[in-house]
Chain A
Amino acid sequence: MPRKASRRSKSIFSSTSVKLSLQYGALYGALSAIVLFFAYEVARYEVEEWVSDDLQNRLVEIKSLYEKEGLSSLRDTISILSKFHGESHNLYLLKDQSGQVLAGNIAGVPFAPDSRDTRLVTRDQIIGLTVYDPEMQAYWFHAMEMDGNVVFIGTSDHLSFEVIEAIGMALAIGGIALLITGLIAGVLVGKRTEIRLRRISAALDKVSDGAIQTRVKVSDADKSDMGKIGRNINATLMQVEALIEMQKQISTDIAHDLRTPVQHLRQSLEGMQSGLHNRQVTSDDLEGIIAQVDEINAVFSALLRISQLESEQRKTHFRSCDLKALVEDVVDVYQAVAEEEQKTIKNLCIGSDFVVSGDKHLLTQLFANLLENAITHCPAGTLIDVSLIETDSGIRLCVQDNGPGIPADQYDKVLRRFYRLERSRTSSGNGLGLSLVAVIAKLHGARLELGDADPGLAVCVQFSEEPVTADL
């Protein structure tokens, strides 16, 4: 199958789940990048703020020293501080009113002393920076005026740069790790779904190739959507398989149950043909032939009626129908027939409202079929009890006899078309009566129940409380 081969050879990226998880991964990555960028910016701002505060605090301390102890003390302090510059990490400069350098480890900075801001100054812009550390590329500077003298202090941005770099690195690594974990998780989850989808798809492929008995592997405990879909598909397949099985059964039955009488007919005709020379064909011969044709036609009609009813076209003709009157009328008709066969029909009604929505002709046929079954399949002396009872769950019509009954394991089978119990093979009937009863009941939304009347058979039609609404 080239169709299937191409389906299986598709790359991993074409599978729905992987595509989806990649899409989500990309979106997740973009959002993370934005978040991380803002986190980085906030961190940088905080570090700079901290550096600036530090410089200002130190200047405030120096200023208070000056106010207490005067210029000479200030000059001495700056001189001492200038010596502890920490490998040119800290820079100091004290200038007097005339701009003369009084103390410090640098000669000048390129900005006005009255500035209140912390400024970033590159190393090249600083005059007289002698101690040289290539890592110190730029300095944060702050200046403060003290009675015309100006104190500049600076600190290299090396530390803050390192901190910011570390934060940035941490965020970046964290972000990438998150992204990768997210993608892997996504692909794995997707893969699971993918595998289950594949399973369903593979099962359906098999079904489309004719293996209707194939089922999707799914456990009953699986409550996920995929599990539900799998179970639904299995249920559908089961229904379809049952229908196909039924169709096959019908074809076989038709072949058997119609070909056999056609064969009998043919034999009768051939017998008459070959006997023509010896004797006259009698009217009885021909009547027998016509009876055989009628029997074949009856089976055909019953089959057609069943299939017509199965397509549920008849609800359009549903009317209000009084089951009590119907049952009494039909019992009245069959009482005489039963008496001829030494059987008795008893009729019991409990309740007041027996009106159902239905087709009177079909319901008559349903009830008549049940009575006829009891009359034809039970021995003389049988009592046939008909009961029509208004129950909480709807009207219940039962036909019960004390005849031989049906084994419980045959209940389902006797509803099948053409199915006949071994002992009734020789009696009249075509094995379609109960099938017809079943479809008529179903059409009326009623349930057909077979049960043991101990002894005998009880067949009940349980109409539902909900009226069957007519199809519009």
Chain B
Amino acid sequence: MKILIVEDDSEIADFIAKGFEQDGHLVSQVGNGKDGFLLALDNDFDVMVVDRMLPGLDGTSLVRAVRGAGNKTPILFLSALDGIDDRVQGLEAGADDYLVKPFAFSELSARISALLRRPPLQAEQTKMVVGDLEVDLIRHRVMREGQLINLQPKEFRLLEYFVRNTGRVLTRTMLLENVWDFHFDPHTNVVETHISRLRNKVDKPFETPLIHTVRGAGYSLHA
């Protein structure tokens, strides 16, 4: 994958670049908005990581310019501004995701993966299969090894998010935001509790677990 990093803090930029390169990605790095814009239009990147505050052309203007030029490359905003307003403004400018500094590389990596391989949602795809797990998205029915698994609506939503992102690492924050619409950090183990309950129904009665804990990062559903 080709990733463009537009970040003026070289320490952060190098850290991200190194991480992505270790994951086997091809990374281009620039330190200002104008170069970022030119590079983005000249090359076919798979994803862009853009710092919100940049010298010259700032991040928000850069994203607007890129989108204005008809470029649809997924963009993730990095920012030290963590107000919800800041997030809303960033997303309104045309970014696809927003990550606040300081962040864990695993969080950035998970979010980038989610952006990278976001499959074009096919309307007719109403049934998803992961190993021996079948999830009917229309009828909210879950089957495993031919057995019907009874899930509460909230549990189904969690599982649905997992199956729609099969194979990807989903961080705690991603689950909180996308499953429960929680845009804050709870002080109780909300995520762990719900994962544990889902595992009890989906994994425990069966031989091979499908929901895996990714140490230091989050969870992943795969066969």
B152: chain A residues within 8 A (beta carbon): 332
Interface string of A425-468 (1 = CB under 8 A from B): 00011000100000000000000000000000000000000000
In the complex, what's the smallest C-beta–C-beta distance from B69 to chain A, in angstroms?
29
Contact pick for B180, options A290, A333, A362, CB 8 Å: A333
Whole-angstrom distance between the Cβ of B154 and the nearest chain A Cβ = 5
Chain A residues contacting B197 (CB-CB under 8 Å) are 336
B88, closest chain A residue (CB)? A317
On chain A, the residues within 8 Å of B83 by CB distance are 304-305, 308, 313
Known: A293-B102, A305-B83, A317-B88. A337 touches B182 (CB 8 A): no
Which chain A residue lies CB-closest to B103?
A297
In this complex, the interface size class of chain A, counting residues with CB under 8 Å from chain B, is: 20 to 34
Question: Judging by beta carbons under 8 Å apart, are A361 and B183 in contact?
Answer: yes
Question: Does A372 sit at the interface, judged by CB under 8 A?
Answer: yes
Least CB distance from A231 to B in Å reads 38
Q: Does A123 contact B (CB under 8 A)?
A: no
B208: Cβ under 8 A from any A Cβ: no
Bound together, the chains give a CA A360 to CA B88 distance in angstroms of: 13
Which residues from A are CB-within-8-Å of B85? 313-314, 316-317
Query: Within the assembled complex, what's the spacing in Å between the Cα atoms of A233 and B181?
Result: 46
Q: Contact at B88–A332, with CB atoms within 8 Å? A: no
A336 CB contact (under 8 Å) in B102, B183, B194: B194
- Check B35 for interface membership: any CB of A closer than 8 A: no
Closest approach, in angstroms, between the C-beta of B19 and any C-beta of chain A? Answer: 15
- Asked if A301 and B187 make an inter-chain contact with CB atoms under 8 angstroms apart, the answer reads no
- Main secondary structure on chain B at its contact with chain A? loop
Chain A minimum-CB-distance residue to B84: A361
Q: Which residue of B is nearest A375, CB measured?
A: B188
Within 8 A of B (CB), among A21-36: none
A-B contact count (CB 8 A): 68
The residue in A290, A298, A333 that gathers the most chain B C-beta atoms within 10 A of its C-beta is: A333
Residues from chain B with a CB closer than 8 A to the CB of A365 are 182-184
A287-336 CB contacts (< 8 Å) to partner B = 287, 290, 293, 297-298, 301, 304-305, 308, 313-314, 316-317, 329, 332-334, 336
Known: A340-B193, A364-B182. A429 touches B187 (CB 8 A): yes
Whether the pair B190, A333 counts as a contact (CB closer than 8 A) is yes
Q: Let me know if A368 is at the binding interface, CB within 8 A.
A: yes
With CB as the reference atom, state the residue of chain B lying closest to A313: B85
Q: Is the CB of A376 within 8 A of B82?
A: no
B189 within 8 A of A: yes
Residues 389 to 447 of chain A near chain B (Cβ within 8 Å): 428-429, 433
Query: Is the CB–CB distance between B88 and A334 below 8 Å?
Result: no
Complexed CA–CA distance, A364 and B184 (Å): 9
Q: Are B193 and A337 in contact (CB under 8 A)?
A: yes
Bound CA span A313–B86, Å: 11
Cross-interface CB contact of A372 among B153, B154, B181, B186, cutoff 8 Å:
B186
Indicate whether B1 reaches chain A with its CB closer than 8 angstroms: no
Which residue on A lies nearest to B180, using beta carbons?
A: A333
Interchain CA distance A112-B197 in the complex, whole Å:
137
Across-interface contacts of A313 in B (CB, < 8 A): 83, 85
B216 touches A298 (CB 8 A): no
Looking at the assembled complex, report how far the CB atom of A280 sits from the nearest CB atom of chain B, in whole angstroms.
18
Asked if B181 contacts A364 (CB within 8 A), the reply is: yes
CA distance A392 to B142 in the complex (A): 46
**Which residues of the other chain, A, contact B102 by a CB distance below 8 angstroms?**
293, 297
Task: Say yes or no: A301 contacts B82, CB within 8 Å.
Answer: yes
- A-contacting residues, B87-115, CB 8 Å: 88, 100, 102, 104
Contact between B190 and A337, CB atoms less than 8 A apart: yes
User: Smallest Cβ distance from B145 to chain A, in angstroms?
Assistant: 25
Q: Is B124 part of the binding interface, using a Cβ–Cβ cutoff of 8 Å?
A: no
* Across-interface contacts of B153 in A (CB, < 8 A): 332
B185 within 8 A of A: yes
* Interchain Cβ contacts under 8 Å between A and B, 13 examples: A297-B102, A298-B185, A301-B185, A304-B83, A308-B83, A317-B84, A329-B181, A332-B152, A333-B180, A333-B194, A372-B186, A375-B188, A376-B188
Besides A333-B190, A337-B190, 10 more A-B contacts (Cβ < 8 Å) are A304-B82, A305-B82, A317-B84, A317-B85, A333-B154, A333-B182, A340-B189, A365-B184, A376-B187, A429-B187
Instruction: Pick the 3 closest A-B CB pairs, nearest first.
Output: A365-B184, A361-B183, A337-B193
